[in-house]
Amino acid sequence: MDNVNQAEFWQQRYQSDSIGWDMGEVSPPLKAYIDQLPESAKDQAILVPGAGNAYEVGYLHEQGFTNVTLVDFAPAPIADFAERYPSFPSEQLICADFFELSPERYQFDWVLEQTFFCAINPQRRNEYVQQMENLLKPKGKLVGVLFNRDFGNTHPPFGGDIEEYKRRFETHFDIEIMEPCYNSHPARQGSELFIKLQAQ
């Protein structure tokens, strides 16, 4: 399972088109969240880590959000995104390991989580929580969706449940929302939680 920590594992999945997680469109709960944000949010610093084909980043860009940073350590989806969105600032496309991002260099108002948490080795979940807090400005927010179901623990996606997530996140975040999604993509109906967490 260690190979999920390696960019090569994911790069090969993109190169062989074995990307069963890819919905081909912006996640409906995240679209609904983005759509209700005020005009004043459009220059906020936003991180989308493990963004893959990054439909959410594309949507934010189309809606006029100017300070969105896409991070993924697999180069293939980033190259694809750059081709699909030639007007997206190239300096905001970062091919790097999320866990190696320097908080001295990067600070965000909010982070959008979409099938990244479930892709990392579950043993790194506390590290994920700590790194999220490090990369957020004081009172910054982690917003997104998490799987609320078990998939087994041999390969991604790695699932979980609300009790585990509460235990993990409440050490560093105030939990504003963590509840079942009512507007998931049909393929994910009944299996997602919407989260909105504020860094302490």
Ligand X SMILES: C[S@@+](CC[C@H](N)C(=O)[O-])C[C@H]1O[C@@H](n2cnc3c(N)ncnc32)[C@H](O)[C@@H]1O
Note whether 71 binds ligand X by CB under 6 A. yes
> What three-state secondary structure class fits 115?
coil
Name the residue with the smallest CB distance to ligand X.
Answer: 52
Stretch that binds ligand X, among 36-44, 91-99, 165-173, 190-198 (CB under 6 A): 91-99
Q: How far is the CB of 38 from ligand X (least distance, A)?
A: 25
HEC assignment per residue over 28-86: HHHHHHHHCCCHHHHHCCEEEECCCCCHHHHHHHHCCCCCEEEEECCHHHHHHHHHHCC
Report 9-48 residues binding ligand X (CB under 6 A).
Answer: 10, 21-22
Q: How far is the CB of 184 from ligand X (least distance, A)?
A: 13
Q: How far is the CB of 36 from ligand X (least distance, A)?
A: 21
Per DSSP, 175 falls in state: E
- The residues binding ligand X (CB under 6 A) are 10, 21-22, 50-53, 71-74, 77, 97-99, 114-116, 119-120
